């Protein structure tokens, strides 16, 4: 088993989160509370309209089952990957979850391209953007410092479907720069698929992702107000 190196010069931030009116809100150490990055991106009008059409097409019950299955699959995969990067993986713990284990095993060669880990499953926030979230991994991928996001899927996703993941990763990159003064060189999306494939998308940060993020934030604040982004 590969042993991963963890860099100890970045101290994780402690933040609590809770659901408020169906939206996740994080409480920063300074007492502000900001909506989660995934909440902001997921509540844009276009995405909500698309989800509504999908639920109507497949039926509410089937849509709920698909969503629950997807969430459970992703949670277990993330837990396995986290144990692996912490050098304490015991797959016997996950014997009741054969699908995420198989997906991990198929993606392992890609995960082995990660090393020199700064943070994983770490809370981040930005007072400038007024958002917060939890990044999967900040580490070197193929030797280049990256924001790394793990996703799971039934099959590889179309390129266009990955776009909002890049916006999400851009938000984490902004938070990292603001909090720690660390600049990443790459945004890396790793999609472990049920069919055994592992989709890898690597791109440098781009201005267009930041502009789209700001658009989503503006839309969210216009729709829901800035009540989440105030002192507790």
Question: Per-residue pLDDT for 17 more than 70?
Answer: yes
CATH of the domain at 191: 3.90.320
- Structure-model confidence comparison of residues 34 and 66, the more confident one: 34
Q: Count the domains in the chain.
A: 1
**Domain ranges, residue 62:** 16-224
What is the reported pTM?
A: 0.90
Residue 232 lies in a domain: no
How far is Cα 4 from Cα 81, in angstroms, rounded to an integer?
A: 12
pLDDT tens for 1-11 read 679 999 988 99
Question: Per-residue pLDDT for 126 more than 90?
Answer: yes
pLDDT of residue 231: 47
pLDDT of residue 100: 95
Residue 39 lies in a domain: yes
Give the residue-averaged pLDDT of 127-148.
98
């Amino acid at each position: 088993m590969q042993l991963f190196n963890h860099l100890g010069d970045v101290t994780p931030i402690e933040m609590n989160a809770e659901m408020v009116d169906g939206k996740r809100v994080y409480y920063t150490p300074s007492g502000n509370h900001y909506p989660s990055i995934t909440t902001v991106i997921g509540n844009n009008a276009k995405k909500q309209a698309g989800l509504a059409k999908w639920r109507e097409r497949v039926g509410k019950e089937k849509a709920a089952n698909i969503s629950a299955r997807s969430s459970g699959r992703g949670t277990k995969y993330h837990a396995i990957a986290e144990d692996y990067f912490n050098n304490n993986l015991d797959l016997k713990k996950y014997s009741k979850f054969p699908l995420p284990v198989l997906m991990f095993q198929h993606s392992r060669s890609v995960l082995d391209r990660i090393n020199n880990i700064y943070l994983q499953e770490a809370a981040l926030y930005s007072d400038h953007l007024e958002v917060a979230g939890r990044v999967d991994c900040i580490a070197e991928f193929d030797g280049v410092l990256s924001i790394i996001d793990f996703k799971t899927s039934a099959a590889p996703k179309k390129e266009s479907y990955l776009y909002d993941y890049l916006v999400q990763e851009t938000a984490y990159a902004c938070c990292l720069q603001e909090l720690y003064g660390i600049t990443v060189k790459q945004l890396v999306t790793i999609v472990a698929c049920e069919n055994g494939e592992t989709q890898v998308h690597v791109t440098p940060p781009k201005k267009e992702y930041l502009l789209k993020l700001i658009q989503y934030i503006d839309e969210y604040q216009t729709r829901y107000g800035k009540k989440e982004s105030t002192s507790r």
